[in-house]
Amino acid sequence: MTSKHTAPSFQQVDIDLGDRSYGIVIGAGLLDAPESYAGLPSAASAMIVTNQTVGPLYRDRLVESLSSQYKVIHTVVLPDGEVHKTWESLNLIFDALLSHGCDRKTVLFALGGGVVGDVTGFAAASYMRGVPFVQVPTTLLAQVDSSVGGKTAINHPLGKNMIGAFYQPRRVLCDLDVLKTLPVRELSAGLAEVIKYGPIADMAFLDWTEANMDALMARDPGALAFAVRRSCEIKAGVVGQDERESGMRAILNFGHTFGHAIEAGMGYGAWLHGEAVGCGMVMAARLSAALGLVDDAFVERLTALVLRAGLPAVAPVLDARDNVGRYLELMRVDKKSEGGAIKFVVIDGPGRAVVRGAPDAMVARVIEASCRA
Contact predicate 154/119, CB 8 Å = yes
Half-sphere exposure (Cβ direction) of 228: Cα atoms closer than 13 Å:
34
Q: Which of the residues 201 through 260 are near ligand GLY (CB under 6 A)?
A: 249, 252-253
59 binds ligand NAD (CB under 6 A): no
**Dihedral sign (CA 268, 273, 276, 277):** positive
Shortest CA distance to 170 belongs to which of 121, 128, 209? 121
How far apart CA 341 and CA 68 sit, in angstroms, is 53
Q: Hey, what amino acid is at 120?
A: T
The least distance separating ligand NAD from the CB of residue 185, rounded to whole angstroms, comes to: 9
118 binds ligand NAD (CB under 6 A): yes
Binding partner selected for residue 169 from ligand GLY, ligand NAD, none, CB under the kind-specific 5 to 8 Å limit? none
53 binds ligand NAD (CB under 6 A): yes
Distances (CA, A) of 46 to 13, 87, 112: 25, 22, 16
Q: Which of the residues 201 through 240 are near ligand NAD (CB under 6 A)?
A: none
Binding partner selected for residue 43 from ligand NAD, ligand GLY, none, CB under the kind-specific 5 to 8 Å limit? none
Shortest CA distance to 284 belongs to which of 330, 239, 333, 348? 348
245 binds ligand NAD (CB under 6 A): no
How far apart CA 228 and CA 218 sit, in angstroms, is 15
How far apart CA 339 and CA 332 sit, in angstroms, is 9
Determine whether 256 is an active site residue: yes
Q: Which is nearer to ligand NAD, 114 or 265 (CB)?
A: 114
How far apart CA 353 and CA 255 sit, in angstroms, is 11
Q: Which of the residues 261 through 290 are near ligand NAD (CB under 6 A)?
A: 273-274
Q: Which is nearer to ligand GLY, 229 or 249 (CB)?
A: 249
Q: Which listed range, 13-21, 46-54, 68-76, 336-344, lies at the site for ligand NAD (CB under 6 A)?
A: 46-54
Task: List all residues 6 or more positions away from 369 whose beta carbon is below 8 Å from its beta carbon.
Answer: 286
Task: List all residues 6 or more positions away from 129 whose beta carbon is below 8 Å from its beta carbon.
Answer: none
145 binds ligand GLY (CB under 6 A): yes
Burial string for 189-206 (b: 16+ CB within 10 Å, else e) reads bbbbbbbbbbbbbbeebb
How far apart CA 288 and CA 284 sit, in angstroms, is 6
- By CB under 6 A, name the one of 27, 149, 164, 274 that touches ligand GLY: 149
The least distance separating ligand GLY from the CB of residue 269, rounded to whole angstroms, comes to: 19
244 binds ligand NAD (CB under 6 A): no
Q: Which is nearer to ligand NAD, 146 or 212 (CB)?
A: 146
Q: Which listed range, 55-63, 145-153, 310-318, 344-352, lies at the site for ligand GLY (CB under 6 A)?
A: 145-153
The least distance separating ligand NAD from the CB of residue 166, rounded to whole angstroms, comes to: 10
Shortest CA distance to 252 belongs to which of 176, 363, 335? 335
- Per-residue x/- track, 327-346, ligand NAD (CB under 6 A): --------------------
Selecting among 245, 323, 335, 343, the annotated active-site residue is 245
How far apart CA 308 and CA 120 sit, in angstroms, is 33
Binding partner selected for residue 249 from ligand NAD, ligand GLY, none, CB under the kind-specific 5 to 8 Å limit? ligand GLY
Catalytic site residues?
Answer: 129, 151, 193, 235, 245, 249, 253, 256, 260, 273
User: Where on the chain is the footprint of ligand NAD (CB under 6 A)?
Assistant: 51, 53-54, 57, 80, 82, 85, 112-116, 118, 138-139, 141-142, 145-146, 149, 151, 161, 178, 181-182, 186, 189, 273-274
User: Where on the chain is the footprint of ligand GLY (CB under 6 A)?
Assistant: 145, 149, 151, 249, 252-253
